[in-house]
């Protein structure tokens, strides 16, 4: 009887399960002599008997592998979250650095919401509405926008214009420019960003010069390096308190975390 060849993800899961099982079995066999102090190491025949017993147990109870993979994924998720919290704590100054960020809302707010975004990211366009609503509804909220152009050269060009324009447009005027740029149809590049900058009242010739300045390029490079340090793999990515929130999770979810930080200093007050 022929069996279908497992798909890529299934083969990967089986390979991981086999590797985990092999490592566990090897460790079990290696540790066996220590379980019975004073006894000699297992003979080859005894080792084979243990191997056969484990194999038989797994064949009769294949859910063991699934349970092990679920537990492995849980542990990896917990470890990743802990590592990211540590990175957020150690990079706090860079995360809110005004030289590489745009601050909107209340600059002296009691809670800070940081967003890493890309002007060609569809989910960022969706999240823009959430951030705008939160800023309008919460006078104590400080919002920090960080250009994180990871979707190609067009995104880098748009971010360079946006960073140059921040030297001319301040506060709500910049946020209006940002929203227009984020709402633009199709791919957003440098030319499109300059067009919107002109509509927003910026001096385009000045923006052209400043978008090519060393400080502008260094600002983007610093944010991209910071994103790598924080383990950011996509946009939008929000930082609230010590937690990184990935994706356009919606206004309600962000609001709940903001209120929790305000209440107990963490995004989850139940623990």
Per-residue model confidence as pLDDT tens digits over 106-124: 999 999 999 999 999 999 9
> Do 197 and 242 share a domain, yes or no?
yes
- pLDDT tens, N- to C-terminus, the chain (271 residues): 343 333 444 444 444 555 555 545 554 545 454 444 556 778 888 888 888 888 888 888 888 888 888 888 788 777 777 777 777 878 888 998 888 899 999 999 999 999 999 999 999 999 999 999 999 999 999 999 999 999 999 999 999 999 999 989 988 999 999 999 999 999 999 999 999 999 999 999 999 999 999 999 999 999 999 999 999 989 999 999 989 999 999 999 999 999 999 999 989 898 6
**Rounded to 5 degrees, what are φ and ψ at 73?**
-65, -40
- Cβ–Cβ under 8 Å, residues 113 and 144: yes
Give the chain's domain count. Answer: 2
> Do 72 and 181 share a domain, yes or no?
no
> Do 176 and 145 share a domain, yes or no?
yes
**Model-level pTM?**
0.72
How do 237-240 and 111-117 pair as beta strands? antiparallel
The 10 Å CB-count burial string (b at 16+, else e) for 120-152 is bbebbbebbebbbebbeebeebbbbbbbbbbbe
> Do 80 and 127 share a domain, yes or no?
no
Residue holding tokens 């030289």? 99
Q: Pull the structure tokens for residue 169.
A: 């447009």
> Do 52 and 165 share a domain, yes or no?
no
> Do 74 and 107 share a domain, yes or no?
no
- Full residue range of the structural domain in which residue 90 is found: 12-24+44-94
> Do 64 and 112 share a domain, yes or no?
no
3-state secondary structure 54-71: HHHHHHHCCHHHHHHHHH
Q: Report yes or no on 2 lying in a domain.
A: no
pLDDT in tens, 152-181: 999 999 999 999 999 899 889 999 999 999
Q: Report yes or no on 38 lying in a domain.
A: no
If residue 25 lies in a helix (H) or strand (E), which one and from where to where?
Answer: helix 8-35
């Amino acid at each position: 009887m022929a069996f279908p060849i497992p798909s890529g993800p299934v083969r990967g899961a089986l390979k991981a399960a086999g590797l985990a099982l092999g490592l566990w079995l090897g460790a079990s066999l290696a540790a066996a002599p220590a379980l019975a102090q004073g006894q000699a190491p297992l003979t080859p025949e005894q080792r084979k008997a243990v191997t056969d017993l484990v194999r038989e147990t797994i064949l009769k109870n294949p859910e063991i592998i699934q349970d092990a993979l679920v537990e492995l994924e849980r542990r990896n998720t917990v470890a990743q979250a802990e590592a990211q919290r540590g990175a957020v704590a150690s990079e706090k100054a860079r995360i809110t650095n005004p030289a590489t960020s745009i601050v909107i809302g209340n600059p002296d707010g009691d809670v800070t919401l940081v967003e890493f975004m890309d002007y060609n990211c569809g989910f960022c366009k969706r999240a823009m509405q959430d951030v705008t609503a939160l800023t309008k509804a919460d006078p104590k909220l400080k919002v920090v926008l960080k250009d994180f152009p990871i979707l190609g050269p067009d995104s880098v060009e748009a971010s360079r214009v946006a960073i140059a324009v921040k030297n001319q447009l301040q506060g709500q005027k910049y946020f209006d420019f940002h929203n227009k740029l984020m709402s633009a149809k199709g791919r957003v590049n440098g030319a499109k960003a300059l067009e919107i900058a002109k509509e927003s009242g910026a001096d385009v010739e000045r923006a052209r010069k400043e978008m090519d300045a060393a400080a502008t390029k260094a600002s983007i490079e610093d944010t991209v390096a910071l994103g790598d340090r924080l383990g950011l793999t996509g946009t939008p990515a929000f930082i609230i308190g010590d937690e990184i929130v990935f994706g356009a999770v919606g206004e309600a979810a962000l609001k709940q975390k903001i209120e929790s930080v305000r209440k107990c200093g963490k995004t989850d007050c139940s623990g």
